[in-house]
Amino acid sequence: MEEKILEVKGLSKKYKDFKLQDINFALDKGYIMGLIGRNGAGKTTLMNCILGKLHYETGSILLENGVEQFHENTGKEDLGFIVEPGPFFPGETLEENGKMLGAFYKNWDSDYFVSLLKRFELNRDKLYYDLSKGMKTKFQLAFALAHRPKLLILDEPTGGLDPVFRREFLSMIQSEVRDTMMSVIISTHLTTDLDKVADYIMMLDKGTQLFYMDKEEMLDSFPVLSGDVEKLPLLDKDKCGRVRRKGNYFSTMLKSPEYLKEHPEFKTEFQVERTSIEEIMYYLSAGEM
């Protein structure tokens, strides 16, 4: 039986011109969840609620033992994060940041922290202020892993990384998950990263949760149909996402595999292909037919 590390129930957060509404999902220990959606979909708001940085109006966020720990300000030391901007001291060195902030975590491992700085080719005497975006990401990863979190929250973590370290970054995350049963939530526009590492995918659009699914099940659930534009009227527009047109050729994504099962003739009328995470983001969030 799987053991939950995080459960979110009916979560809603209101702003003046935006509402994150009725978010529900559970993440088990030792799994990686990818969070996708356009800018402004609510991804960062959701992660800040989980991290305890935002108060929310309704719902609950439960960590591991089923107790709503975030409002009680406990259990936060089990959370690691890479977010922008990071809550570090700009005028202090990387080593001093580790000493001062690491003291708040009971599982802080200073030797491991120093070894990670060396591995990531970061000078421990360098000021945090002087780091590039990619270097800040490396530092935050070193800091997060050094206090042995049970849940790691990553907001666009690989955007500023060179291709070589980006691959190493993802490999290290997978190794930590495998070795420690840490769980991870990754929000990113680089869907190829999620192709490599994610077990589950959640998609948000305008504050609404469109789905939360096993990645492989998701890729099978939204087939792409393409063909001659004259055959487009054969499709029910309410069962499709946005239509992409080029000359006399079109492509669209079905919102459910059930629609394809109900119309087996589509397999001869159209070309049917398995989708990708990037295509799902495009077709389901860019508008209707």
Note the pLDDT tens digit of each residue in 181-192. Answer: 999 999 988 888
- Residue 244's nearest CA partner among 259, 265, 229, 223 is 229
Q: What angle do CA 228, 231, 232 make, to 5 degrees?
A: 100
pLDDT score recorded for residue 75: 57
- The CATH number fitting domain 4-217, selected from 3.40.50.300, 3.40.50.2300, 3.40.50.2020, 3.30.830.10: 3.40.50.300
**Mind listing the pLDDT tens digit for each residue in 123-162?**
999 999 999 888 888 899 999 999 999 999 999 888 778 8
Which residues of the chain are under the pLDDT cut of 70?
A: 1-2, 65-75, 286-289
User: What is the pTM for the complete model shown?
Assistant: 0.88
Q: How far apart are CA 40 and CA 42, in angstroms?
A: 5
Instruction: Give the number of other Cβ atoms within 10 Å of residue 106's Cβ.
Output: 9
pLDDT score recorded for residue 288: 43
pLDDT score recorded for residue 257: 85
Whether 243 and 259 have beta carbons less than 8 Å apart is answered as no
In the chain, what are the domain boundaries?
Answer: 4-217, 222-285
**Mind listing the pLDDT tens digit for each residue in 201-218?**
999 999 999 999 999 999
